[in-house]
Amino acid sequence: MSSEASEGCVNKAFEAADDGFHTIDLRNNRQDDQHRTQASTEAVPMSPKRAALEEEQSLKCGWGVFRPSWLQRFRTAKWALFWLCWAGAIQGMVVNGFVNVVITTIEKRFGLRSMQTGVIAGGYDMASFACLAPVTYLGGRAGSSKPRWLGLGVLLMGTGSLLFALPHFLVPNYRIAGNEATDVCTPNRTSTSACDGTVPAEGGAWAVAVFVVAQLLHGAGATPLFTLGVTYIDENVSKKMSSVYLGVYYTMAVVGPAMGYVIGGQMLTIYTDFLSVDSDALGITPVSSVWIGAWWVGFILSALLCLIVAIPLMAFPYELPGAAEIRASKVSEAHEGAASKSAAFSALHELPQAAAALLRNPTFLFLNLAGASEGMLISGFAAFLPKLIENQFAVNASDAALLLGVITVPAGGGGTFLGGWLVKRWRLACAGIIKLCVAATVVAAAFTFCFVLTCDDYPFAGVTAMYDSPSVPGADHLTAMCNVECACVNAPYSPVCGADGTVYYSACHAGCTTRTLAGSAQLFHHCSCILTKENATLPVYDIDGVSNSSIPYEAINSICTTDCPFLWVFVALSFGVMLFTFLATMPALSATLRCVREDQRSFALGIQWIKVRLLGTIPAPLLFGFLIDLSCSLWSSSCDKTGACLQYDNINMSRYMLGIALVGKLCSILFFFLAWWFYRPPGSKNGNAVVPSVDLVVCGEKTNGNVTNVANGTVERSNGYCNAALECSDHL
C-alpha cells in the first residue's frame, strides 16, 4: 500500500482549519481526472512533469496569465464562499428587495396596473427559465470553469440594474398633484377635456418594456448563482460540511432581500428628483399619497457592487485543491433507479437523454413540484406583500419596506441557516431530510391564517362612503352637489383627509377653495363638502416644528389614520410563515443533491429551477397581480386608458391572499410527502424504506495503517478505509 493510502488524504482547502475530520481517497472512479489527462496527452505528447505543472497552474487563483503567488492564500473554500455569499446577497437585494419595494412607486410614477408590474417582476424568472438548461449543462461539464460563469453572470446583473434605473432619466421631473389652480375648487370654472388627466404622460408600454428587459438581464445573470454556485461549493467541501456551507450561502441570499427592503425603503424617503428639486418647497412629505421616492438610487448602487464582486469571483480556479479526493470519498445516496444507471452525459446532443434520466427519478420529480409551489408563494408575496401591508394597515411605502426588512433577516435568514444546521446536527439521510421538509411546511401552513386579519376600509367619499351631500343625477360617483360647481373633472388624484375623518379624491372634490403651506404640509380651508364633526380628531401635521394647533384647517394632504390593532399581530404571524418556509429550503436542496448521482447534480439543479420557474415563479407575479387588481375599487383613468389602482377593497384582498397561500402550502405538503414515499435508498427495493446515512470520513486514529471499521454493530479493522453500513464516527 502506498504512503498516500496509508496516511489518508486531506483537503488542502481546509488545511488551516480544525474541522475535526479528513477525507479518504478511495481511489475509485476518478474518471473525470483521467479523461482530462488522457485527452491532453493524446493531443500533445508531454512529460508527466510538464503535465503536472500545467495542472497545478490551472488550479491557481488569478486572471489569465496573472496568477501571483500571494494570491494563492485565498484559494480556499472559505474565500470562495465569502465572495459567493456577497454575490447571492446582491442578487437578493436587487431582485427580491429593491424591485419589490419600488413596485407601488413605479405604478404611481408611470401609471401602471398590478398586472403590468407583475409582468415586470416575472421578467427575472422568464430569463432564468430560458438560460437554466444551457448554463447548467455547459457550466457543469468536466473542466468547465464555474467561477468564470459566476463572475460573468454578476456583471450581467449589474448591467440589468443600470438599465432598470434608466426610465428615471428619460422622463421629465415628476409633477406633484395638488400644487396647481385646478387642484382646488374654483366655482363656475369651465370644464375642459380630461384626456390629459390623472395618468402620467410618461407612463406606458415603453416603460414596461425597459423594466422587463432589465429584469431579463437580472435573471440571465443570476442563473449560475444557485446552480453552478451550489455545485461548486458542494464539490469542494466534504459531505459533512456541505450542508453548513450551503446554509451560510443561502442565509446570505435571504439577508440580501432584507438589505434591499431596508435600503430601498430608506431611498423612498428621499424625493425622486432630489438632484434638481427641493421637496420642502412642494408641501408634501413621504406620508403623502402622491409622494414619489428616489426608487432608482438603489439600482445604481447595486451596479457598482456587482462590478466589485465579479472581479474576485472570476479569479478562482475551476476546482480547489483537494476536490478530487473529496469526490472520491463521497458515497452516493442517489435514488436506486438513478444510481443504477452509470451513463455520463458530455455532449450537447445528449441533453434530452440526460433530462429523461432525471425525470424518471420520482423523488426528484416531486421535490421539483414542491419547489414550484413554494416558489410561487415566495415570489408572489415577495413582490406584493409590501403593497398588502400598505393598503391593509395604512402604512406608507418606506415604512412597509422597513418593516419587512426587519423581519426578513431573523425569519428568512435564521430559518435558512437553521435548516442546514439541523441536517448536520441530526446527521439526516435523504429520507429523514424530506420528512423534515414535510414537518416544517405543515407548521408554515398553519401560520398562513395571518391573512384572515384585515382592517376596515377608511371612509372614501364616493367610493366606500357617501358624501354628506345629495348626489348629482348622471354624474360620476365622485361628484356631489357640494362640488358640482367646482369642475373637478381635471383634478388629479391627490387625496386629502377631512376634519370629518373622510378621505376625498382631491381638495377640489372636498370643495376646498383655499390652500396654505404649513412646513411640509398643505392645509385646505373653506371646504363645502366637509361637515366638521364635534368628536372628530383633526389629522396631525407636526412637521418641521409646526404644531397641529397653529393654523386651523378643514383638510390636509394625507391619508386619514386608522385605529386598526392588527398590524403587529400580522407581523408576528408573518414571521412564523417566513421562518418555517425558509427552514425547509436548505433541507429540500440537500435532498435534491443527494437523490441524484454526483455527475448529474449541476444539470439536476438546472432542471429543478426550470420547473420552479415554469410552474411557480413565472406565473406567480401575474396571478398575484391579477388577484390584487380584482380587489381594486377605484382606478385612475384618462379617456379610454386605465392607469394604476388608487383604492383597494381590504376584505377582498385579504380573502384572495389567504386562499392562494393556503392552497399553495397544501400542495407543498402533498409533494414533499410523495417525494419521501417514493424514495428508495441505494440497495433498497422498498418504496419508502429508510436506511442509516453513510458519510465516509478518515478516522482520527489508525493502528499500523488500518482504520477501525463499524459494520452491523461490530468493530473491525480494515485496510485504511471506512466500509460501514452505519456512518463512521469521527472518533474511531
Per-residue model confidence as pLDDT tens digits over 204-242: 788 899 999 999 999 999 989 888 888 888 778 777 777
**For 377-386, 594-603, 687-696, which range has the lowest pLDDT when averaged over its residues?**
687-696
Query: pLDDT value at position 718?
Result: 38
CB 476 within 8 A of CB 151: no
pLDDT at 494 over 80: yes
Nearest to 329, CA basis, from 30, 690, 36? 30
Query: pLDDT value at position 314?
Result: 87
pLDDT at 178 over 90: no
Highest mean pLDDT among 371-385, 407-421, 523-537: 371-385
Give the CATH number of domain 74-319+362-456+565-632+647-677: 1.20.1250.20
CB 232 within 8 A of CB 671: no
Task: Determine the distance from the C-alpha atom of residue 246 to the mean position of all C-alpha atoms in its chain, rounded to a whole number.
Answer: 17
Query: pLDDT value at position 323?
Result: 63
**For 64-68, 333-337, 374-378, 434-438, which range has the lowest pLDDT when averaged over its residues?**
333-337
Query: pLDDT value at position 334?
Result: 57
Helix ranges (DSSP H) in 171-238: 205-222, 228-236
CB 210 within 8 A of CB 655: no
Nearest to 523, CA basis, from 555, 491, 558, 561? 555
| 730 pLDDT tier (thresholds 50, 70, 90) | very low
Rounded distance, CA 625 to CA 618, Å?
12
Query: pLDDT value at position 392?
Result: 87
| 473 pLDDT tier (thresholds 50, 70, 90) | confident
Rounded distance, CA 80 to CA 152, Å?
15
| 173 pLDDT tier (thresholds 50, 70, 90) | confident
Q: For the sheet with 706-711, list strands across it.
A: 702-703, 706-711, 714-718
Query: pLDDT value at position 85?
Result: 92
Query: pLDDT value at position 27?
Result: 39
Q: Once rounded to an integer, what is the mean pLDDT over residues 708-712?
A: 40
Query: pLDDT value at position 327?
Result: 65
pLDDT at 152 over 70: yes
Q: Once rounded to an integer, what is the mean pLDDT over residues 574-591?
A: 91
Instruction: Look over the chain and give the mean of its residue pLDDT values, rounded to a whole number.
Output: 77
b/e for 114-125, b at 16 or more Cβ within 10 A? bebbbbbbbbbb
| 344 pLDDT tier (thresholds 50, 70, 90) | very low
Is this structure's pTM higher than 0.85? no
Query: pLDDT value at position 20?
Result: 36
Residue 268 neighbours by CB under 8 Å, 6+ apart: 101, 102, 105, 286, 293, 294, 295, 397, 398, 401
Task: Determine the distance from the C-alpha atom of residue 372 to the mean position of all C-alpha atoms in its chain, rounded to a whole number.
Answer: 14
Q: Once rounded to an integer, what is the mean pLDDT over residues 692-706?
A: 38
pLDDT digits (tens, 9 = 90+) for 110-142: 888 888 888 998 898 888 888 877 887 788 776
Which three cell numbers, joined as nine digits, stand for 258? Answer: 432584507
Hey, which residues does 102 pair with through a beta bridge?
none
Which three cell numbers, joined as nine digits, stand for 399? Answer: 415604512
Q: Give the three-state DSSP class for 641.
A: strand
pLDDT at 542 over 60: no
Rounded distance, CA 547 to CA 534, Å?
20
Q: Once rounded to an integer, what is the mean pLDDT over residues 36-53?
A: 52
pLDDT digits (tens, 9 = 90+) for 1-17: 444 444 434 444 334 43
**For 65-69, 74-78, 360-364, 469-473, which range has the lowest pLDDT when averaged over its residues?**
65-69
Between the two ends of the chain, the Cα-to-Cα distance in Å is 21
What percent of the chain lies above the pLDDT cut of 70?
A: 74
Rounded distance, CA 699 to CA 702, Å?
7
Task: Indicate the domain borders of the chain.
Answer: 3-11+22-73, 74-319+362-456+565-632+647-677, 457-561
Query: pLDDT value at position 343?
Result: 46
**For 321-325, 405-409, 459-463, 660-664, which range has the lowest pLDDT when averaged over its residues?**
321-325
pLDDT digits (tens, 9 = 90+) for 180-197: 555 788 876 665 554 544
